Amino acid sequence: MKSKKNFNSSKNSSQSYLLKNCLVIDNVKNRILKNDIFIKDKIIEDIDKNLTNKIDPKTIVIECEGLYVAAGLVDMRVNITEPGLEHKETIESASKAAASGGITSIICMPNTLPPIDQPAIIHSIQRRAREVALSKIFCTGCITRNFEGKEICELRLMKDSGAVGFTDGYKTISNTRVMRRALNYAKSFDGLIIQHAEDPYLKGNGVANEGEISTRMGLLGIPSYAEAMIVQRDLWMVKETNCRYHVSHISTKETVEIIRKAKKNGLPVTCDTAPPYFILNELSLENYRTFSKLSPPLRNEEDRESIVEGICDGTIDAISSDHTPQDQDAKRLPFNQAEFGGIGLETLLPLTLSLVNNKKIDLIKAMNLITINPAKILKLDVGKIEKKKEADLCIFSTSKPWKVNPEKFHGKSKNSPFDGMLVEGKNLMTFVRGRLVYEL
């Protein structure tokens, strides 16, 4: 699988492909079968054994013996920063990073300049995504104007323009009355409210998880219950309004327990986490490593183990990359001054597969966490592999070893908390709408 050109942004979708001898991860029926996949006119024309008789001389045949083919990944939390902060990331650079990582659907956070708080900005981003033509980009809209937490945006208008959910990004809706109003409004049209749960008053100027490590390093701490308190507060209003409610990048034992209980009580609540919170802990901050300065902060080992347990028992519905690009000037500063966030598009697949390699979950469940599950939460018709659906696919090896080296990544920013880590599992090819957009 070698190519002189890694990316193909040509919009010509007339090319047909036959993927031979694939290990197909059928995430609709939760099974893995060895089959061929025939792609024609953007869609998966057929999935079956020995489809060679269906092809014509112009069909490109790709041998996939020993490789897995799954639905393209759906990443439900990505900060693209275009428009306004193109020095950190652009739609084109994010799309290239996503395609190389097997991600075919990106959910863009509204943290742009200006923020996504009106339909015109959604249309602009979608138009640019069609021009780049390397991935599907869906937008979330702000809950409040300019992230100020005071005045609710026209959520319904943004929903009609394509917004798949509403969030204030890395700002928590701390005003309870505003949050209640947003939940009531979103419920009227079956909207999804997405919360970054962190009490801003408890957080203050904190930069790390409050505990022994932060004290020893002389860093101002953020108590872990700052997350759980917001979730617990919001659930009172979710119970009243019955609005769909999603908590992003959960990181603590208490939050897992609260959401587990809420689900047992039948509340319409879902949540996701990100690889740093089930792989790393606060020890990664040693030597004041700013690439590990994240929001929410890396927690202690007990919290990390609880996140893994929440993934295993189904309390946690999805895994997102939480891709937050920062340029070198924003990260190469004293720890207290450095910006929060880490990139993650190109490591989402192998880091999720680490749960399989460590025998925590099976491969089907791991792939569901980054394909069909986030698609269901967002009510998007993506993330599935079945006949007559658009051919959004990734072809990958579960065992190919490699070393995380952000300098070789395709995004503009290089701030990975996993820099230097040895991982297993690599995306080799990506199809979007039946086009081969990436080949290793």
Pairing of strands 68-71, 17-26: parallel
> pLDDT tens for residues 238-296?
999 999 999 999 999 999 999 999 999 999 999 999 999 999 999 999 999 999 999 99
> pLDDT tens for residues 364-402?
999 999 999 999 999 999 999 999 999 999 999 999 999
Q: CA 262 → CA 154, 234, 235, 311, distances in Å?
A: 29, 11, 8, 16
DSSP string, 312-363: HTTSS-EE---B----HHHHSS-TTTSPP-B--TTTHHHHHHHHHHTTSS-H
Residue 291 contacts residue 417 (beta carbons within 8 Å): yes
The pTM of the full predicted model, rounded to 2 decimals, is 0.95
Determine the average pLDDT of the residues in 309-325: 98
Those residues with Cβ within 8 angstroms of residue 124's Cβ, 6 or more apart along the chain or in another chain: 83
Give me the phi and psi of 253, to 5 degrees please: -60, -45
> pLDDT tens for residues 426-435?
999 999 999 9
Residue 337 contacts residue 230 (beta carbons within 8 Å): no
Burial class (CB in 10 A: 0-12, 13-18, 19+), 331: buried
Per-residue pLDDT, 55: 85
Q: Which candidate, 435, 430, 434, places its Cα nearest to that of 102?
A: 430
As a whole number of angstroms, the distance between CA 36 and CA 205 comes to 55
Structure tokens at 53: 């008789």
The separation between the first and the last C-alpha atoms of the chain, rounded to the nearest angstrom, is 7
Burial class (CB in 10 A: 0-12, 13-18, 19+), 376: middle
pLDDT exceeds cutoff 70 at 1? no
pLDDT exceeds cutoff 70 at 230? yes
Sheet holding 103-108, edge to edge: 73-78, 103-108, 136-139
In order of start, what are the domains of the chain with their CATH numbers? Answer: 17-69+390-439 (2.30.40.10), 73-378 (3.20.20.140)
> pLDDT tens for residues 60-83?
999 999 999 999 999 999 999 999
DSSP letter, residue 221: E
**Mean of per-residue pLDDT scores for the chain:** 95
pLDDT exceeds cutoff 70 at 13? no
pLDDT exceeds cutoff 70 at 11? no
Per-residue pLDDT, 97: 97
Per-residue pLDDT, 14: 76
Buried b (16+ CB within 10 A) or exposed e, 286-300: eeeebbbbbbbbbbb
pLDDT exceeds cutoff 60 at 2? no
As a whole number of angstroms, the distance between CA 38 and CA 359 comes to 32
Per-residue pLDDT, 53: 87
Q: Which of 168, 199, 322, 392 does the annotation list as catalytic?
A: 322
Q: Percentage of residues in the chain with pLDDT exceeding 70?
A: 98
Q: Which candidate, 105, 107, 106, 113, places its Cα nearest to that of 87?
A: 113
Q: CA 396 → CA 102, 208, 247, 419, 424, distances in Å?
A: 8, 35, 29, 21, 11
Per-residue pLDDT, 54: 83
pLDDT interval class at 6 (50, 70, 90): confident
Question: Would you call 381 a catalytic residue per the annotation?
Answer: no
